[in-house]
């Protein structure tokens, strides 16, 4: 870095990390389309001095840490006394002090220097500003010098997820499957060490003790592998190459959370925790991606052991009669008398049941399952859910109701 005329102290900021292999793509084009992240026209991040942080052309990825070497040299003919270096990293949402020696003042003789190393993990995506301020005294006068270096932080992964709900009344369990997909958008291979969903909270912000199980993951082989040491999946670590994708399915069962959801109304939200390692920055971690699941504080089966479920077609044609199968399960050791299958026509809309909206069942034997076919029709296209079906007793009191997403595509 060339010093300015009249400067007494010269500051250099040098990255200790290795550069990325691909230097041609501007990382500014990879930033979110957000006006807050658009730099001034006179700033060209990719053309910064090679010695300035970071030397990787600002290709720093969220969740990773940078290491920088800071050197203050006295290039004047005067001694600098009580030198203070204060280094901050500033983003749109945060401001953190990385280094300050206010409690340990230093003097720099002519031609000498003081050095330090800073390290910081970045957990946000956007433009950052590394600000270095030097305070010192020369010939009794208090002086200040300031340098700022802008760099971009981008997400290392494209992350997406899908939710699948399944009610298995025969096993008295509700399953929520969460499929998480990660795409490596960096320019180097990443060793994916851990992928988990943690820190569950309800819609009121209260912490919930939710346990998530992972479905077993198959081992992946490279077609060019000639020995087992080249496996892409080895000892629980997955090597994710540039632009490759990895999918993991998680499962939450009713038995894992039903003791914890007495005060939850509708939703729980967890944070996707990702741990990985890269050649450029070493160990890294991020947990900024949220996943929200819909639950209910009601069991899918009644405490009396009576449950109701329905089998529906995935796709039907509009204005065409189709059949659904309502399944009633008596999972008790008692015989049930005078129960009724009740259908709420308003809740069932846009579907219409052809026939009676109340069907009487004189009795059900212990551990018996009854299947009742119902003919339906829809006059509205789209994706709609089957609702409004419940089981009541002779007094009109609800025994149990249909729960879960029973969606049908009407075309």
Q: Phi and psi dihedrals of 146, rounded to 5?
A: -140, 135
Instruction: Report pLDDT for 207.
Output: 84
Instruction: Report pLDDT for 223.
Output: 41
The per-residue pLDDT for range 235-259, each reduced to its tens digit, is 456 888 888 888 888 888 654 444 4
Mark whether 104 and 228 lie in a shared domain. no
For residue 13, the tally of other CB atoms under 10 A from its CB is 20
Nearest to 16 by CA among 51, 62, 42: 51
Domain span at residue 140? 9-154
Domain count, the chain: 3
Mark whether 150 and 161 lie in a shared domain. no
In a domain, 301, yes or no: no
The residue whose two tokens read 């993951």 is 217
> pLDDT-based confidence at 44, cuts 50/70/90?
very low
Q: Phi and psi dihedrals of 125, rounded to 5?
A: -105, 135
Q: Length of the chain in residues, anyone?
A: 411
The domain boundary, picked from 245, 269, 294, lies at: 294
Q: Which two tokens stand for residue 166?
A: 């399944």
The per-residue pLDDT for range 367-402, each reduced to its tens digit, is 888 888 989 998 888 888 888 888 888 778 888 887
Q: Give the C-alpha separation, 102 to 309, whole Å.
A: 69
In a domain, 1, yes or no: no
**Cβ-Cβ contacts under 8 Å for 44 (sequence gap 6 or more):** none
In a domain, 299, yes or no: no
Mark whether 21 and 139 lie in a shared domain. yes
Q: pTM value?
A: 0.49
The domain boundary, picked from 154, 182, 201, lies at: 154
Mark whether 287 and 396 lie in a shared domain. no
Mark whether 71 and 120 lie in a shared domain. yes
Question: For residues 276 and 242, is the Cβ–Cβ distance under 8 A?
Answer: no
Burial class (CB within 10 angstroms; exposed 0-12, middle 13-18, buried 19+) of 355: exposed
Residue percentage of the chain with pLDDT more than 70:
73
The domain that holds 356 is classified in CATH as 2.60.40.10
The per-residue pLDDT for range 62-112, each reduced to its tens digit, is 877 777 788 899 998 889 999 999 999 888 788 888 889 888 888 999 999
Across the beta sheet with 336-343, the strand order is 358-364, 336-343, 389-393, 398-401
In a domain, 314, yes or no: yes
Mark whether 165 and 244 lie in a shared domain. yes
For residue 285, the tally of other CB atoms under 10 A from its CB is 16
For residue 361, the tally of other CB atoms under 10 A from its CB is 16
Residue 363 has pLDDT above 70, yes or no: yes
Ranges of beta strands (E only) in 203-236 are 213-214, 233-234
**Cβ-Cβ contacts under 8 Å for 34 (sequence gap 6 or more):** 126
Mark whether 357 and 279 lie in a shared domain. no
In a domain, 148, yes or no: yes
**173 to 168, 364, 371: CA distances (angstroms):** 5, 22, 19
Q: Phi and psi dihedrals of 270, rounded to 5?
A: -120, 160
Q: Give the C-alpha separation, 347 to 120, whole Å.
A: 55
> pLDDT-based confidence at 280, cuts 50/70/90?
low
**Cβ-Cβ contacts under 8 Å for 56 (sequence gap 6 or more):** 15, 17, 18, 19, 20, 280
Scanning 204-285, the segments in alpha helix (DSSP H) are 254-257
In a domain, 13, yes or no: yes
Beta-bridge partners for 68: 15, 118
The domain that holds 238 is classified in CATH as 2.60.40.1470
Instruction: Report pLDDT for 16.
Output: 61
In a domain, 395, yes or no: yes
For residue 356, the tally of other CB atoms under 10 A from its CB is 10
Residue 226 has pLDDT above 60, yes or no: no
In a domain, 125, yes or no: yes
The domain boundary, picked from 108, 133, 154, lies at: 154
Cα-based torsion angle of the residue sequence 349, 353, 354, 359 in order, rounded to the nearest 10 degrees: -150
Mark whether 109 and 178 lie in a shared domain. no
Max mean pLDDT range (44-48, 168-172, 224-228, 342-346) = 342-346
Mark whether 310 and 286 lie in a shared domain. no
Residue 360 has pLDDT above 60, yes or no: yes
Mark whether 55 and 148 lie in a shared domain. yes
Mark whether 222 and 96 lie in a shared domain. no
Mark whether 322 and 392 lie in a shared domain. yes
Q: Give the C-alpha separation, 12 to 88, whole Å.
A: 15
> pLDDT-based confidence at 298, cuts 50/70/90?
very low
Beta-bridge partners for 358: 342
């Amino acid at each position: 870095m060339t010093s300015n005329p009249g400067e007494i102290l010269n500051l250099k900021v040098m990255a200790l990390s290795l550069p990325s292999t691909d230097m041609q793509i501007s990382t500014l084009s990879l930033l979110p389309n957000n006006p807050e992240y658009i730099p001034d026209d006179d700033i060209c991040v990719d053309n910064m001095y090679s010695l300035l942080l970071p030397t990787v052309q600002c290709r720093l990825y969220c969740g990773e840490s940078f290491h920088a070497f800071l050197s203050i040299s006295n290039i004047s003919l005067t001694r600098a006394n009580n030198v203070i270096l204060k280094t901050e990293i500033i983003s749109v949402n945060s401001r953190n002090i990385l280094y300050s020696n206010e409690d340990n003042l230093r003097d720099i003789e002519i031609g000498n220097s003081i050095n330090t190393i800073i390290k910081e993990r970045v957990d946000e995506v956007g433009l950052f500003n590394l600000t270095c301020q030097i305070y010192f005294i020369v010939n009794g006068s208090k002086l200040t010098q300031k340098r700022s270096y802008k760099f971009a932080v981008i997400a290392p992964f494209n992350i997406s997820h899908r939710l699948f709900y399944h009610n298995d009344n025969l096993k008295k369990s509700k399953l929520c499957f969460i499929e998480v997909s990660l795409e490596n958008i960096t320019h180097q291979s990443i060793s994916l060490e851990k992928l988990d969903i943690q820190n569950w909270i309800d819609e009121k912000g209260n912490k919930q003790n939710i346990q998530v199980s992972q479905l077993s993951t198959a081992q992946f082989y490279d077609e060019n592998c000639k020995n087992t040491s080249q496996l892409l999946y080895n000892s629980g670590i997955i090597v994710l190459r540039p632009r490759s994708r990895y999918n993991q399915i998680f499962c939450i069962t009713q038995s894992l959370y039903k003791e914890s959801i007495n005060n939850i109304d509708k939703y729980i939200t967890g944070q996707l925790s990702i741990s990985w390692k890269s050649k450029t920055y070493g160990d890294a971690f991020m947990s900024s991606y949220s996943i929200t699941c819909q639950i209910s504080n009601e069991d899918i089966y009644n405490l009396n052991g009576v449950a109701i479920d329905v089998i529906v077609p995935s796709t039907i044609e509009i204005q065409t009669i189709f059949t659904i199968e309502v399944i009633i399960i008596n999972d008790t050791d008692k015989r049930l008398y005078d129960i009724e299958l009740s259908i709420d026509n308003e809740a069932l809309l846009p579907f219409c049941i052809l026939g009676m909206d109340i069907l009487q069942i004189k009795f059900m034997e212990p551990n018996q399952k009854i299947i009742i076919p119902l003919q339906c029709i829809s006059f509205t296209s789209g994706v709609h859910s089957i609702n409004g079906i419940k089981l009541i007793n002779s007094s009109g009191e609800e025994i149990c109701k249909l729960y879960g997403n029973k969606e049908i595509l009407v075309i």
